[in-house]
C-alpha cells in the first residue's frame, strides 16, 4: 500500500541483499475441474458461523484434497512457516437463532436483553417508565430496573449497557443495551445491537439470550426482516474472536438467541440461513487478513482459495497460474513486483457458475493480494508507515474470497462470477525491481516505476486485463491502495471510483443493506498529467495531492472501455485499530451486489 508519506519519498535501501535468492523452477498450471458436488451436510438456518457439520476451522496451510496438486504447491504446504508458527484449529461461533412472537416476560433463559433509546428511559411524574415494555418489566422486577438504571447512570446512549443479576425470574439476568437517540433504522445500527448483546453474553458466559426492542414500533414493518438479520449478524460476528495464534483460545458459550417481536416463520428462517452463509464468509475474510505473513504466504492464500473450489465443486472451479504461465500471458507488471521475494507469486482465479447454467450476466471481482508489503526499495520508514501491519495489504483479496465462500453456499442463479487475485509479496533483494525500472503490462502498456511502494496498482493492472479477457460485463476491484484515501475519508469509509453512474448506484444500494460505508470520489481526468512519463507510457505514482484519484486513473488504463468498472480503496476500513484486528470489510457488500445482479434479487 502506498502510504501518504511514502508516495513522495524516494529513500532507497543502501545495504545489498546478504544472500542470493534461488529462482524456483516454475510449477505447473493447476486447474480444478468441475466435478459432481461432494456430499455435504446441510447447515440449517438455526446454526451460525461455521457449517454445523464442520465446527472446527482447519489451520491455514492444511491442504485440501484436490483433483490435481502441483509438486511445488505440495512443497510449499510442507515447508514449516518462519518461526514454526501454526494456526490452531478453533471452534467458530454456532448459534441457533429463532424468531418468536411471545411476551418477553414469559421467556426463560440466561439473559433478557432489552434495546432502549434515550427517549425510552423517560419517566412520568410518578417516577415510573413511560415506555410500555420497560414499565411492565420494571413492575415485574419490583422497581429494580428503574433503581439500577439511575444508580448506574444509564441513559441509553449508544454503546452503554447495564446488566442485573436476578432471582426468582424465568431469566437469570436482564440487560439494558443503549441505542442512542432513536430506534435503529439502518443495517449498521441493528448490527450494533447484536455486537453489544454478544459482548454482554461473553462477559456473563451465557448460553441463551433473548433480544427485544423497547420500542418495536420504531422499526418500520418492511424493515423488520432485515433488522432481525442484521442483529443476528452482529451477534455472531461480535462473538467471534480470532484466537488461532494464541496458546489458549476462548470458548464461545452462547448457543441460542431468540429474537422477540421481529417476526417468525419460514421467511425469517430463510433470511437467517442467508445471514449464516454470509457470516461464514466474513469470518473467513477476517481470518485471512489477521493471519501473519509468515503463515499466509501467496502459496497458502492460493491453497485457501482452492479449498473453496474443492468443497463447493458443484459451482466452483479454480485455476492457479504459476510464474511460467504468467510470463506466457506477459504479466510483466505483476511479476515485477513479485521478483524480489523468495515466496513465488500465485495468480488465483476462482470461477462461480450457477447450477444448471443459464447465465445472464458475467461479473468479475478483483482483489489486491499483497500478503506482505515492505515497500520494496522505497522501504516503509518513519512514523505512520505501519510496516508491522502490512499483512493486511491483502485485504482486497480477503474480501474477494470471503464473498466467494458465502456465495458458494448461497448459490445465486443466473450469474457467473470470476474471483481474481494476483498474489505475491513486495520485498527487497538483488532480484527485485528498482526505482526507475520500466515494466510492461499484459496489455502492452509500459510503466516507469518511480516508487516501488506503489506496488498494488502494478499487480492489479495485469489482474484487470485478465478479468476483461474473461468476457465479463462488470468489474469491481478492491484494494488497500493508498494512505491518501485514509486521509480523505478516515478509518471507517472506503472510497469508490467509477465512470459508471449505474454501477455506483448498484454498490450504494448494496452497501445500504450491508451496513458498510462507502463514498464516491471523483475521477478527475486532468490529474492524469501527473502520471505521464518521459520514457514510458506512464509512471506508477503522481504527486502527493489527489493520490487516491491518480491511483484510480492508473487502474483505468487497464480496463476495457466496454466493461463497467469500479475501484474501491478500502485502506481505511480493512483494519480496526482499537481491536487490533481485521474487520472483514467488503464481503457483505460484494455478496449483496452479486445477488442484485443475479436472476433472483431476494436475499
Q: What is the pLDDT of residues 365-418, one digit of tens each?
A: 999 999 999 999 999 998 889 999 999 999 999 999 999 999 999 999 999 999
pLDDT at 268: 93
- What are 211-220's pLDDT values in tens digits? 999 998 888 8
- What are 4-17's pLDDT values in tens digits? 655 444 433 333 33
CB 280 within 8 A of CB 49: yes
**Among 591, 572, 574, CA closest to 476:** 591
**Whether pLDDT at 258 is above 60:** yes
Provide the percentage of residues in the chain whose pLDDT is more than 90. 77
> Between residues 31 and 379, which one has the greater pLDDT?
379
**Whether pLDDT at 79 is above 90:** no
Residues with catalytic annotation?
380, 457
> Between residues 361 and 15, which one has the greater pLDDT?
361
**Whether pLDDT at 34 is above 80:** no
| Mean pLDDT calculated for residue range 94-121 | 94
Torsion, CA 577, CA 582, CA 588, CA 589, rounded to 10: 60
**Whether pLDDT at 50 is above 90:** no
206 alpha carbon, distance to own chain's centre: 28
pLDDT band for position 601 (cuts 50, 70, 90): low
> Between residues 62 and 440, which one has the greater pLDDT?
440
Radius of gyration from C-alpha coordinates of the chain: 25
pLDDT at 22: 35
pLDDT band for position 77 (cuts 50, 70, 90): low
**Whether pLDDT at 500 is above 80:** yes
Report the mean per-residue pLDDT for the chain.
88
pLDDT at 205: 95
**Whether pLDDT at 103 is above 50:** yes
The CA-based angle 225-230-231, given to 5 degrees, is 100
DSSP character string of 463-476: HHHHHHTTT-SEEE
Strand 538-539 and strand 446-448: pairing?
parallel
Name, in order, each residue with C-beta under 8 angstroms of 518's C-beta and a sequence gap of 6 or more. Answer: 493, 494, 495, 496, 507, 508, 511, 568, 589
Rounded distance, CA 597 to CA 475, Å?
12
CB 489 within 8 A of CB 517: no
> Between residues 593 and 148, which one has the greater pLDDT?
593
Reported pTM: 0.88
> Between residues 332 and 64, which one has the greater pLDDT?
332
pLDDT at 76: 55
Torsion, CA 428, CA 429, CA 432, CA 436, rounded to 10: 70
Minimum mean pLDDT range among 45-59, 93-107, 260-274, 448-462 = 45-59
Torsion, CA 93, CA 98, CA 99, CA 101, rounded to 10: -130
Rounded distance, CA 325 to CA 347, Å?
9
pLDDT at 59: 52
Provide the percentage of residues in the chain whose pLDDT is more than 70. 87
Q: Can you state the percent helix, strand and coil of the chain, rounding each to 5?
A: 35, 20, 45
CB 400 within 8 A of CB 441: no
Amino acid at each position: 500500500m502506498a502510504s501518504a508519506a511514502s508516495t513522495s519519498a524516494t529513500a532507497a535501501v543502501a545495504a545489498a541483499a546478504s544472500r542470493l535468492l534461488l529462482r524456483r523452477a516454475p510449477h505447473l498450471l493447476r486447474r480444478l475441474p468441475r466435478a459432481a458436488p461432494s456430499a455435504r451436510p446441510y447447515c440449517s438456518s438455526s446454526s451460525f458461523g461455521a457449517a454445523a457439520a464442520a465446527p472446527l476451522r482447519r489451520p491455514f496451510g492444511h491442504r485440501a484434497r484436490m483433483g490435481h496438486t502441483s509438486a511445488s504447491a505440495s512443497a510449499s504446504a510442507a515447508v514449516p512457516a518462519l518461526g514454526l508458527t501454526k494456526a490452531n484449529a478453533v471452534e467458530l461461533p454456532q448459534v441457533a437463532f429463532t424468531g418468536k412472537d411471545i411476551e418477553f416476560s414469559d421467556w426463560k433463559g440466561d439473559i433478557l436483553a432489552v434495546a432502549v433509546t434515550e427517549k425510552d428511559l423517560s419517566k412520568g411524574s410518578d417516577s415510573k417508565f413511560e415506555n410500555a415494555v420497560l414499565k411492565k418489566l420494571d413492575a415485574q422486577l419490583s422497581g429494580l430496573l428503574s433503581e439500577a438504571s439511575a444508580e448506574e447512570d444509564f441513559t441509553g446512549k449508544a454503546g452503554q449497557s447495564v446488566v442485573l443479576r436476578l432471582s426468582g425470574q424465568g431469566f437469570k439476568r436482564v440487560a439494558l443495551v443503549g441505542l442512542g437517540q432513536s430506534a435503529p433504522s439502518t443495517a449498521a445500527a441493528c448490527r450494533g445491537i447484536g455486537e453489544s448483546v454478544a459482548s454482554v453474553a461473553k462477559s456473563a458466559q451465557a448460553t441463551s439470550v433473548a433480544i427485544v426492542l423497547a420500542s418495536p414500533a420504531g422499526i418500520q414493518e418492511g424493515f423488520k426482516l432485515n433488522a432481525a438479520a442484521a442483529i443476528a449478524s452482529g451477534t455472531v460476528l461480535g462473538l467471534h474472536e480470532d484466537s488461532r495464534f494464541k496458546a489458549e483460545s476462548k470458548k464461545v458459550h452462547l448457543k441460542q438467541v431468540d429474537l422477540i417481536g421481529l417476526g417468525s416463520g419460514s421467511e425469517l428462517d430463510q433470511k437467517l440461513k442467508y445471514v449464516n452463509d454470509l457470516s461464514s464468509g466474513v469470518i473467513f475474510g477476517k481470518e485471512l487478513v489477521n493471519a501473519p505473513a509468515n503463515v499466509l504466504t501467496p502459496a497458502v492464500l492460493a491453497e485457501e482459495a482452492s479449498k473453496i473450489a474443492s468443497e463447493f465443486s458443484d459451482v466452483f472451479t479454480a485455476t492457479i497460474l504459476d510464474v511460467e504461465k504468467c510470463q506466457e500471458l506477459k504479466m510483466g507488471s505483476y511479476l515485477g513486483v513479485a521478483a524480489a521475494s523468495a515466496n513465488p507469486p500465485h495468480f488465483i482465479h476462482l470461477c462461480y457458475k450457477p447450477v444448471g447454467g443459464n447465465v445472464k450476466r458475467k461479473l468479475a471481482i478483483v482483489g489486491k493480494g499483497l500478503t506482505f508489503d515492505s515497500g520494496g526499495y522505497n522501504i516503509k520508514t518513519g512514523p505512520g508507515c505501519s510496516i508491522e501491519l502490512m499483512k493486511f495489504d491483502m485485504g482486497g483479496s480477503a474480501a474477494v474470497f470471503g464473498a466467494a465462500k458465502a456465495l458458494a453456499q448461497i448459490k445465486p442463479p443466473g450469474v457467473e462470477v470470476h474471483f481474481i487475485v494476483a498474489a505475491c509479496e513486495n520485498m527487497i533483494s538483488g532480484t527485485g525491481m528498482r526505482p526507475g525500472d520500466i515494466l510492461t503490462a499484459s496489455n502492452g502498456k509500459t510503466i516507469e516505476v518511480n516508487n516501488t511502494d506503489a506496488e498494488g496498482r502494478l499487480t492489479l493492472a495485469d489482474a484487470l486485463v485478465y478479468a476483461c479477457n474473461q468476457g465479463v460485463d462488470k468489474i469491481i476491484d478492491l484494494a488497500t491502495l493508498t494512505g491518501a484515501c485514509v486521509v480523505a475519508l478516515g478509518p471507517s469509509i472506503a472510497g469508490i471510483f467509477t465512470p459508471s453512474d449505474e454501477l455506483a448506484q448498484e454498490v450504494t444500494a448494496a452497501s445500504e443493506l450491508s451496513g458498510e460505508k462507502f463514498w464516491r470520489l471523483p475521477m478527475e481526468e486532468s490529474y492524469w498529467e501527473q502520471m505521464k512519463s518521459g520514457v514510458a507510457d506512464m509512471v506508477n505514482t503522481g504527486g502527493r495531492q489527489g493520490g487516491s484519484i491518480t491511483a484510480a486513473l492508473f487502474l483505468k488504463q487497464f480496463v476495457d472501455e466496454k466493461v463497467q468498472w469500479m475501484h474501491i480503496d478500502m485502506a481505511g476500513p480493512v483494519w480496526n485499530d482499537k481491536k487490533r484486528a481485521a474487520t472483514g470489510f467488503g464481503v457483505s457488500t460484494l455478496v449483496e451486489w452479486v445477488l442484485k445482479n443475479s436472476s433472483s434479487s431476494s436475499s
